[in-house]
Chains A and B, each alone.
Chain A
Amino acid sequence: MKEVIVHPERCVGCMQCMPACAVAHSGSGRLVSAVLELPQPRPRVHVGVGLYDEGFPNRCRHCDPAPCRLACLPGAIYRDPKTNTVLIDPERCINCASCAMACPFGVIRYHEERSALRGKTVAVKCDNCIGRQIQGLIPACVEACKVGALTFEERDRALKRRTNEVSRRISFSGEEPRIPGAEGFSLLHTLKRTQKEMNELRS
C-alpha cells in the first residue's frame, strides 16, 4: 500500500505543499477562488523552520496505534484500514484539544472547516487526501513537491532506496556531499548553519 513518505533532508522550504493542500481541501479546487472561500481552506501540512532556518514538512504520520485516537474524548478519531488513514469526524469533534496534548508531532490545528457545521471550530489534520486517492490521484502535497521531499510510494521501496544510498556512500572513498547530486544545496545549508551558530554562540 502506498503512503506519503517524507524525506526532510530534501525540503527547500518553498512551502508549495501548503497551498496545494489547502486548495485540495477547498470547495472550488482552484487557488484563485479558494482564497476567497469562507471558511478559508487551510493546509494540513505545516512547513516548520528547523534549527538552521531549513524547512521541514510536518504532517500527520497516521500512527498505529494513534495517540490522538486514544486520547479523543468523544471518539471522533477513527482509522480507515484500506488506506491506513487516521481521520477526524467533524460532527463528533468537540474541540476539546485532547488530541493537541496527545500528538507528539504537533500536526493538529483547530479552525473552521467546510466539512463541519458553519461556525464550529474543529480539530483538523491531514487526511491522506483520501478524496483524491479515491479518484485515482496522488496526495496534493506530493504532487506539489518538486524536490522529492514528499513521495507517494510503498514504504519498503523508500527504505530500500535509503539502504542503497547508505551502502553507496560507505563504499565510496573520499568526501561525498550529504545528498548526491546536490552539492549546491549542501553548500548553502553549511553556510546557513555557520551563520546561525555564529549569531547565537558568539558575542
Chain B
Amino acid sequence: MRHVIIGNGTAGIHAAETIRSLDSEASITIIAGETFPPYCRPMISLFLEGVVSRNQLRIRPPDYYDSLRITPLSGEWVRNIDVKLRRVMTDRGREVPFDRLLIASGADPRPTRAQGSHLKNVSFLRSESHVRDMMDALPYVKRVLVLGGGLVGFKAAYGFLRRKIPVTMLIRSSYPLSMQVDPFAGELLRRELRNNGLDVRVGVEAVAFEGGDRVRQVHLSDGSSLNCDLVVIGKGVTPAVSFVPADRIQMDLGILVNQRMETTEPGIYAAGDVAEHFDVARNTRWVNALWPVAVEQGRIAGANMAGRTVNYAGSLSRNVIRVFGLDVLTGGLVNPPREDGYEEIASYDAYRRRYRRLVFRDDIPVGLVMVNDIEQGGVFLSLLQQQRPVGGVRNRLLHPSFNVSQLLH
C-alpha cells in the first residue's frame, strides 16, 4: 500500500504516524514545500516575540523520517493530481504514484490589494522563514503596521509590542479578534493592548505602500499617511487548493470531506487547514484552520487510510491567548445570528477582570468566551464538542466554582 501525503504540517505528520502505528509495512511519502523540518506553526509568534528559539519550534526529532520509514520530498511543491492515473506531479517534474492520497497542504495567507506590497519588509506571518526575515529587520524598525485584527495580525502586533516596538493595527470591526471574541471581551482586549502601546485604527484600509529599498510609508484610505518600517499582512488564510482538480474533487472554500475525512474521490483524503468539514457549534460546513483541529483530522484521516474505519463528528473552533494581563479562551459560535433559539448568559467581575459568556442554541452550549480564570476552559469546550444539553446546570456554569463534578449527575 502506497500512502502519499501532501504537506508536512501537523495534519500530515499525525496522519503519517497513525498510518505507521497501524501498518508497519506500507510505504509513506511526504511531499513538503517548506524545507524546515516539521515545526509548530502557532509558535512562530512566540519566536517573533523572542520567547522561544528557532530550534524550539521543531516538534519532531532529527531522525524523524528515518525512524518512521517515511520518504520525505523536501522543498518540492505539488502542481497537479491525476485522479484517474492515481499519481501526483511536482514542480520538479516528478510523478509520485499513490494508492491512498492525503491532501494536507494547509492554507495560504490572503494577499492585500494595496499597491506596493512587493516592497521589502511587507510580509505575511505564516512560516518560520517569514519570522526570520522580520527579525533581520528588527534593528531598524521604528514602527510596525499590521493589516487585520484576526489571530495572525493580533499575534504579530503582540510580538512586536513585547519587543517595545510601537504598532499600528488597521481593523475592520471595532475591536480585534472579532471572529474569536464577542464585543465585550473585544473591548477589554482593545483597551489592554492600547494601554500597552497599540494604536488601533478602525475602518481604515491600506491603499498603497511607498519606499525604495524597503517600505517606509503607507497611505491609508482616510487620506492620512503613516511612517512604517515593517508591514505584516494578517488578512486571514485560504485553503491551498490550486493544484486540486475541481472537476473531480469537490470544493467549497476548502476541500469537502465526509466523516472519514475522505473527499468525493475515493481513496483521496484531506485534513487540516485545507479541509472543510462540519463545525459542531455552527451546525454547518466550515474550515477551522486551527492546530488542534489539524491534529485530530490528521489522525482520523490516517486511521481511515490505513483501513480502520473511524468517524469524525466534526470540528470546533477554539483559541487561547495570553496578552499582557489578560488570558482569553474562546470556542465555538461566539457571535450568534440574531435568530430565535439562541440565548446567552454572561457575568463580569470588574474587580477581578473576569468575564465568562456562553451562547446556547436551545439547551446546547455552542459558544464560549472566557477572559481570565481560563483553567476550566477545556471542560466547557468538551461540552461544546459533545453538543451536550446542560439542563439545570446552566446556572452554575458562570460561577468561579464550576468544575467537572457538577456535570457528573
**Which A positions have Cβ atoms within 8 angstroms of B?**
8, 46, 48-51, 56, 58, 67, 70-71, 73-75, 92, 94-106, 108-110, 200
Measured in the bound complex, the distance between the Cα atoms of B378 and A94 in whole Å is 18
Q: Mark B200-234, 1 if CB is under 8 A from A, else 0.
A: 00000000000000000000000000000000000
How far is the CB of A91 from the nearest CB of chain B, in Å? 10
- B393 lies within 8 A of A51 (CB): yes
**Which A residues touch B382, using CB under 8 A?**
104
- A101 lies within 8 A of B292 (CB): yes
- B295 lies within 8 A of A105 (CB): no
- B378 lies within 8 A of A73 (CB): no
Measured in the bound complex, the distance between the Cα atoms of B51 and A99 in whole Å is 19
Q: List 7 A-B contacts (CB under 8 A).
A: A8-B405, A48-B403, A50-B405, A51-B409, A75-B40, A96-B46, A101-B378
Q: Which 8 A-B pairs rank lowest in CB-CB distance, beginning with the nearest? A: A48-B403, A56-B405, A104-B382, A103-B378, A106-B376, A106-B379, A97-B320, A73-B40
How far is the CB of A49 from the nearest CB of chain B, in Å? 5
How far is the CB of A42 from the nearest CB of chain B, in Å? 12
**Which B positions have Cβ atoms within 8 angstroms of A?**
40, 42-43, 46, 51-52, 56, 59, 291-292, 295-296, 299, 318-320, 322, 327, 329, 331, 374-379, 381-382, 393, 395-396, 401, 403-406, 408-409
Name B404's contact: one of A74, A75, A98, A106 (CB within 8 Å). A106
Name B292's contact: one of A48, A51, A70 (CB within 8 Å). A70
CB closest chain-A residue, reference B319: A101
Name A70's contact: one of B295, B318, B378 (CB within 8 Å). B295
- B296 lies within 8 A of A48 (CB): no
CB closest chain-A residue, reference B46: A94
**Which A residues touch B396, using CB under 8 A?**
51
Known: A96-B320, A101-B318, A102-B378. A73 touches B403 (CB 8 A): no
- B52 lies within 8 A of A101 (CB): no
- B378 lies within 8 A of A95 (CB): no
CB closest chain-B residue, reference A55: B405
- B409 lies within 8 A of A70 (CB): no
- B42 lies within 8 A of A48 (CB): no
- A98 lies within 8 A of B292 (CB): yes
Measured in the bound complex, the distance between the Cα atoms of B384 and A113 in whole Å is 32
